[in-house]
Structure 1
Amino acid sequence: MSWSGTTAQQIAKAVRRGDADAAIVVDHHLRHIEEHREAADALTSVRKIESLAEAAAVDEIDDRSALPAAGVPVAVCEQLPVTGHAPRLGSNATFLPIAESDHRAVQRIRGAGAVVVGFGRSSELGLWPATDDDGNVPGNPWRPDRGIGGPSGGAALAVATGAAPIGIGIDGPGSAGGVRTAAAACGVVAYSPEHVPADLNSDPEHWLNGHVGVLATTVDDAALAYAALTHRSPRSTGDPGRLRIAAANTTPLPARVDDEATKSLLQAVRCMTDLGHDTFRARPKFGPRLTAASSGAWSCAAYLRSLKCGPDGLQRRTRRLVALGEKTYLKGLFGPILGDGNRIRRHLEDWFDFGDYDLLVTPGMPGPPPAAQGWSTQTLRSNVTHLAGAAAFTAPFGLAGLPALVVPVGMRGDGVPATVQLVGPPGSTGRLFDVAAQLIAKLRPRRYAPGLTWD
């Protein structure tokens, strides 16, 4: 039996009970990475010696009952600091010192007993909805001529190929829809936790650096990872009761929604209706300045994140975006002129309240994942014209800070996963997980691409 391809919940239960050794579990995943090019492409670095040592330390703990993620391998986006490693930030321009402490999210998931096996490839500074650099263009496991999304595309691909059952990456403003865009491309589950947006006068630097989201192949594994990140006991999914669910296939940001995306959305809506929920066609209200606020946050995030890099080495698309962001930020245009996440959030909260909606469902992506090609070598104009639309459904809710979850619902006619995004008002995390679990139980999408094998 190989532990690679097993769910995080199954692994943690076996390690806690002493039915499996964490070191063996991690070794199986490391071997899987070595033997499968798709899994290796996902990671810029593999922590072979360190992860085996950390797994052995988990095995030495006499009472592992308090470790909800005992022995679970995790892929961490290279944007997040891990002790003993210098964060690369997806860029050759990064010259950061070796981290002396873990990012808080990494610290918490390791504290829950998980083991970091490697670093997921990221788009530069976590800005772009496709993941490639220096000629490395990872292919989608479902259809190789398509990409893996971004910015945390490597962590999503690691999960989608069995390199780790859980991944953590960045989400929030200026992150092109974060883990949810990558999950929509790779056909896995991703959750972006709720956060309160900042404005120009509160703490824009912290807010625009992004927040952490989780990736998994099952809803229960995503809930386990989220519980570990928030120091909560894992919550089992259950019956959410009868809900009022709005459905929208009109993109909040400029993009064309293809027929397959609409078809997948309608399939999910019909499933929700069969499950006893009331569904309505609706159009969420973001206010008049969503596009300006989104582009302003994106460019300002690029400028602030670039301050961690050297003057040379940034991709030309990033240099151009940084130049725009520097003017926007230093002239005080973000917030009072362009709008900010707080205003977008208030409009959405009012919309949820006025319609008495419990959840909103949208497509995960407006079309198939972007082509697997060297987007990092192209101009900013080309990236905006041909690539940015991939995050048209996911990015606005990262800007507003509302809880959002992407879940696979089957396959598109063109051979890539079909996904939908569930978004809720503040405080609706449990409801999102419950409905996502219902959808997967009813529609039974594949966890892995057909070509993947385990010994």
Structure 2
Amino acid sequence: MELTNRLDAATIAARVAAGRLDPAEVAAAFQARIAARNDQLNAVFEQRQELVDADLAQLRARLAQGERPLLAGVPVIVKDVIWSQGRRVTQGSQLYRDFIAPADAIAVERLRRAGAIVLGMGNTSEFACKGLTTNKVYGLTRHPLDATLTAGGSSGGCAVAVAAGMAPLALGTDGGGSSRRPPAHAGVVGFKPSYGAIPDAVGFAHAFNGIQVIAPITRTVADAELMFEALAGADPRDPDTLGFSLGAARPLHTLKIAVSPRLGLDTPVDDDVAQAFDQAVARLQAAGLSIERADPAWPRGADEAVLMPLQHVGLANLYGDAWRRDPEVFDADVARQIERGLAWTGAEVARAREASRQIALALAGFFTRYDLLLCPTTPCVAWRNDRLGPERIGGVAVEPRAHAVFTPFFNHALAPAISVPCGSGRDGLPVGLQIAGPRGADRNVLAAARLVESLLASFVNPA
């Protein structure tokens, strides 16, 4: 069973479809891994065996009828903000600690249609609104290489589960980097598709209205591609997907690639991250990719802080009344965000919305000159899990959100971006390289990530 839980999704699906692997044995192998590591890592919950058995029974019936689903028998962990029918889905909040999802989210529905087996729910920060995966329902998720460290947030449970071998696939969300930063810290792959590529119209309302997407988290880029193809495509229930089209991947040698070590921002980066990133870029250039140094030209004053009112008012809109009744129900950091959201004026919110638009326009203009953009996923490796963020980056004191600087702009631009492991920093901790492209160029981004992964394999420190 140990061997089985090291297989990638494509291999599992092929062997299950061919009758060479029993899907129940596959599920049991990964469940055994969860049993062995979850007490320490605190990543996965809601392992409802009757629901796993129902998925397995349905898959067996389909296989017996000659079907060969794309993800036949592949185990998956679903982030605890995404509806999975019959399971408790809490959003990491005391307000929803007894909520049972009445239906599947469209992405979960499509995973089941593709033959995947949902094993459980991955821990999240409350309402997916914090860069540390901890909450008042399930507590703290720990890094798979060092239990004193964090894997970041908010999809920390999913990233840790994949890194620790609890499942080959996980389904996260990404409204500002939640499914890229934790994979970077844990040493796995996190893909944020273009907004509109994957339907997301069934489930909870969320604070990141108009920029949050469903995001695959996997051990390999090939598995991210496989999962994406199972999930992508329009659905009449989600108008944001209608009329949206994905282009085919172009040959990589025809693409013009920009590299931006600080994404054109005045922000510190730790030396170990900068060194791993520079080594990775040098390796790619040696392989013949057309790469040149170029920074996006952002509007004056562009940084994550100018965008945060949108998250705060999103939370205040959804949970302000509950906060007024009892602030103690909430995670303290989330409660502060709600309080701030109730205080922002309409003009301040409009200013944040315009900043979001200008950032999107700046990146769109950049992608008229370049096909892809490379930058670090995070400016630091994982930090201690008793604080919101590292106290220093690049040798200077920073605010708690300084670790998140390189991911949110791609959400506001509605653009695809992926984090792939590119080496290791201090204490052998993983470093992530981020690849982004214009909206709709998801397959170009994935194809480039596949090549990066193959060229940098010797630099990767697997969790």
TM-score by length of structure 1 reads 0.86
Q: Against the structure 1 CA distance between its residues 35 and 64, is the aligned structure 2 distance closer, same or farther, given a 3 Å change threshold?
A: farther
2:432 is equivalent to residue 432 of structure 1: no
Please say if residues 194 and 439 of structure 2, whose CA atoms lie closer than 8 Å, have aligned partners that are also in contact. Answer: yes
Tell me if structure 1 keeps the 8 A contact 2:264–2:295.
Answer: no
Contact 1:370 1:390 in 2 (8 A): no
> How much does 1:352 deviate?
2.1
Give a deviation string over 1:259-318, Cα, whole Å, max 9, x none: 111112112211221221121122112322533542122212322343696743102221
Equivalent residue of 2:180, what SS? helix
Match of 2:215 in 1: 213
* Alpha carbons of structure 1 residues 39 and 68: separation in structure 2 relative to 1, 3 Å: farther
Separation in 2, partners of 1:91, 1:190? 24
Q: How many residues align?
A: 430
Shift in alpha-carbon separation, 1:321–1:156, aligned structure 2, 3 A: same
Q: Structure 2 vs 1, CA of residues 335 and 253 (structure 1 numbering), >3 Å: closer, same or farther?
A: farther
Q: Distance in 1 between matches of 2:330 and 2:49?
A: 29
Task: Tell which deviates more after alignment, 62-71 or 23-32.
Answer: 62-71
What letter is aligned with 1:343? Q
Q: Which residue of 2 aligns with 1:137?
A: 140
**What SS is found at the alignment partner of 2:348?**
coil
Displacement after TM superposition at 1:207 (Å): 2.2
Matches for 1:145-156 after TM superposition, within 5 Å: 145-156=148-159
- Report what 2:190 is aligned to: 190
Deviations 1:24-76 (A, max 9, x none): 11111111111224676211322333113312321121245441111111110
- Cα pair distance change 1:100/1:332, threshold 3 Å: farther
What residue is the counterpart of 2:462 in the other structure?
448
Q: Does the C-alpha gap of structure 1 residues 238 and 140 become closer, same or farther in structure 2, counting only changes over 3 Å?
A: farther
Cross-structure match for 1:243: 255
Quote the offset at 1:410 in angstroms: 1.9
Deviates more, 1:95-104 or 1:18-27: 95-104
**Match of residue 315, structure 1, among 307, 323, 331:** 331
Following superposition of structure 1 onto structure 2, how do residues 153-232 of structure 1 map, counting pairs within 5 Å? 153-172=156-175, 176-195=176-195, 207=209, 210-231=212-233
Partner of 1:408: 421
Q: Is the CA contact 2:180–2:191 (under 8 Å) kept in the aligned structure 1?
A: yes
Confirm or deny: 8 A CA contact 1:8 1:166 kept in the other structure. Answer: yes
The aligned residue for residue 358 of structure 1 is: 371
Computed over aligned residues only, the root mean square deviation of the Cα atoms, in angstroms, reads 2.9
What's the counterpart of residue 6 of structure 1?
7
Letter of the aligned partner of 2:302 in structure 1?
L
Can you list the C-alpha shifts for 1:235-276, whole angstroms capped at 9, x where unaligned? 998952242211112256674201111112112211221221
* Equivalent in the alignment of 1:380: none
Aligned positions of 1:289-438 closer than 5 A = 289-291=301-303, 293-306=306-319, 311-312=325-326, 313-328=329-344, 331=346, 333-336=348-351, 339-353=354-368, 356-373=369-386, 375=388, 386-438=399-451
2:144 is paired with a residue whose SS is coil
Contact 2:154–2:182, Cα closer than 8 Å, also in 1: yes
1:114 alignment partner, one of 113, 116, 126 = 116
Provide the secondary structure at the position in 2 that maps to 1:410: strand
Q: Please name the residue that 2:241 is paired with.
A: none
Report the 3-state secondary structure (helix = DSSP H, G, I; strand = E; otherwise coil) of the residue aligned with 2:46.
Answer: strand
Instruction: Kindly state the Cα deviation for residue 342 of structure 1 after the two structures are TM-superposed.
Output: 3.0
The 1:15–1:335 alpha-carbon spacing in structure 2 relative to 1, beyond 3 Å, is: farther
Cα distance in 2 for residues equivalent to 1:324 and 1:208: 20
**Contact 2:207/2:315 (CA < 8 Å) preserved in 1?**
no
Q: Is the 8 A contact 2:428 2:461 kept in 1?
A: no
Task: Give me the whole-angstrom Cα distance separating, in 1, the residues matched to 2:380 and 2:387.
Answer: 19
2:276 is aligned with 1:274: no
Counterpart residue type for residue 282 of structure 1: A
Look up the match of 2:238.
none
Change (3 A) 1:337 1:192: closer
Q: CA deviation at 1:193?
A: 0.7
* 1:56 equivalenced with 2:52 (yes/no): no
Cα distance between partner residues in 1 of 2:181 and 2:413? 16
Percent of counterpart pairs with the same letter? 27
Pair 273,252 (structure 1): closer, same or farther in 2 beyond 3 Å = closer
| The 10-residue stretch of structure 1 (111-120 or 45-54) with the greater mean CA deviation from structure 2 | 45-54
Structure 2: distance between partners of 1:207 and 1:107: 22
SS of alignment partner, residue 46 of structure 1: coil
Q: Which amino acid aligns with 1:20?
A: L
1:32-111, aligned counterparts within 5 Å?
32-37=33-38, 41-61=42-62, 62-63=64-65, 65-94=67-96, 97-111=99-113
Check whether the contact 1:30–1:48 (CA below 8 A) recurs between aligned residues. Answer: no
The separation in 2 between residues aligned to 1:139 and 1:405, in whole angstroms, is: 23
Counterpart secondary structure, 1:414: helix
Distance 2:462 2:40 in 1: 12
Kindly provide the amino acid, as one letter, of the partner of residue 121 in structure 1: N
- Which residue identity lines up with residue 335 of structure 1 in the other structure? A
Q: Residues 183, 304 of structure 1: CA spacing in aligned structure 2 closer, same or farther, 3 A cutoff? A: farther
Q: Which runs of 5+ in 2 are unaligned?
A: 198-204, 235-246, 390-396
State the distance in 2 between where 1:19 and 1:184 align. 34
- Unaligned stretches of 5+ in structure 1? 198-202, 377-383, 450-455
Which one-letter code corresponds to 1:246 in the other structure?
A
Counterpart amino acid of residue 28 in structure 2: D
Alpha carbons 1:251, 1:257 under 8 Å: kept: no
1:344 offset after TM fit, Å?
Answer: 1.5
Between 86-95 and 389-398, report the one with greater CA deviation: 86-95
Equivalent residue number for residue 381 of structure 1? none
Q: Which moved more, 1:256-265 or 1:242-251?
A: 242-251
C-alpha displacement at 1:230, in angstroms? 1.1
Q: Give the CA deviation at 1:208.
A: 5.0
2:6 is paired with a residue whose SS is: coil
State the one-letter code of the partner of 1:34.
A
